[in-house]
Amino acid sequence: MISAFKINKWAGITLAVIGFSAQAAPAPQHIDVKQYKKVEDVVVPLPNEVFAALNKLGPVNWKEFVRTEKGVNFSERPRTALLLGNVIADGFIAVQAQDAPAVKEIGQRVLSLAKGIGVGASITPHAKAITEAADKRKWDSVRQELDRTQSSVQGAMNELQDQKLSQLVSLGGWLRGTQILTAVVSKHFTQEGAELLHQPDLLRYFGDRLNSMPEYSVPVVESIKRSLVEVRPLIDTGNRPISPDAVRKINEITTRLDGEIVTRQ
């Protein structure tokens, strides 16, 4: 979300002058997308993006997915990175459930994990802001701080030239988000819900990233690599809809991976 300190006053004045009535200049109706250089392979969505889409399909009992177990800390950095992404996703779930005590515990857990991986300093103000906003039940602010937390963690990792760890944070969050998405859709199957799993490029992106980090070849990373290969045909169905069986199977796989991420094996 927008931070006041980021807003350039000149930008404000300029926008006030031009207003928002401008129309789009004509753009080509068709392009060859392959000819463009890409900034990012694929932008990884935050878990709350898919949760927002899921909420529109019907009521979800988010409380049943809230999790606040303290869990273990790992000495291996890739494991901690995956767990960090996973716990931040838990924070978004707790926000959906409007569970203030859970949000506060998760904020502290994120801080502890971030400290363990050497990026705690960038998280401390966010953890404090999460607690304050949760106390006031300002859910939009909590959501915003969770987003900032993930962004700061990844920014700090990138500054330390640990881009691969940063990618593991995204992967941990995506796996937990997918686990919840498939749990919700399995309970009350709809074609619209299953379609939210149609993310083949993202899956390919994660697979490529994992293959490019042989130095992080810990068992859980190897397990995720194999599992992504299993998941791919289930969601990359072309024009055919994703079946209830496929949704159930992906839930089993992501639940198994979640267990490997959060517990010491």
* Contact residues: other proteins, CB under 8 A: 1-3, 6-8, 11-12, 14-15, 18, 20-25, 27-33, 36-46, 48-50, 52-54, 56-57, 140, 143-144, 147-148, 150-151, 154, 192, 195-202
> Taking the complex as a whole, how short is the minimal distance between the CB of residue 139 and other proteins, in angstroms?
11
- Minimum Å gap between C-beta 183 and other proteins is 17
Other Cβ atoms closer than 10 A to 72? 10
- The residue whose two tokens read 């606040």 is 68
Which amino acid, one-letter code, is at 18?
I
Q: Which residue, 5 or 214, is less far from other proteins as judged by CB?
A: 5
Write down how long the chain is.
Answer: 265
User: Is the CB of 51 or the CB of 216 nearer to other proteins?
Assistant: 51
Give the nearer residue to other proteins in terms of CB position, either 20 or 214: 20
Nearest CB to other proteins, comparing residues 201 and 230:
201
Which alpha helices (H) appear in 188-243, and where do they start and end? Answer: 191-195, 200-211, 219-235
Q: How close are the terminal C-alpha atoms of the chain, in Å?
A: 37
Cβ atoms of residues 172 and 82 within 8 Å: yes
**Positive/negative CA dihedral, 129, 135, 136, 139:** positive
- The token pair that represents 215 in the structure block: 């130095």
CB 158, min distance to other proteins, A:
11
Provide the minimum distance between the beta carbon of 248 and other proteins in the complex, in angstroms, as a whole number: 19
Closer of 25 and 264 to other proteins (Cβ): 25
In the complex, what is the shortest distance from the CB of residue 34 to other proteins, in angstroms, rounded to a whole number? 8
Q: Which is nearer to other proteins, 21 or 161 (CB)?
A: 21
How is residue 120 annotated by DSSP? Answer: G
Do 92 and 48 form a contact (C-beta atoms < 8 A)?
yes
Minimum Å gap between C-beta 35 and other proteins is 9
Instruction: Read off the tokens for 238.
Output: 């072309």
CA distances from 72 to 85, 145, 180, 262 (A): 15, 24, 21, 7
Distance CA 207, CA 16 (A): 45
User: Measured from the CB atom, is 19 or 214 closer to other proteins?
Assistant: 19
Q: Nearest approach, Cβ of 103 to other proteins (angstroms)?
A: 16
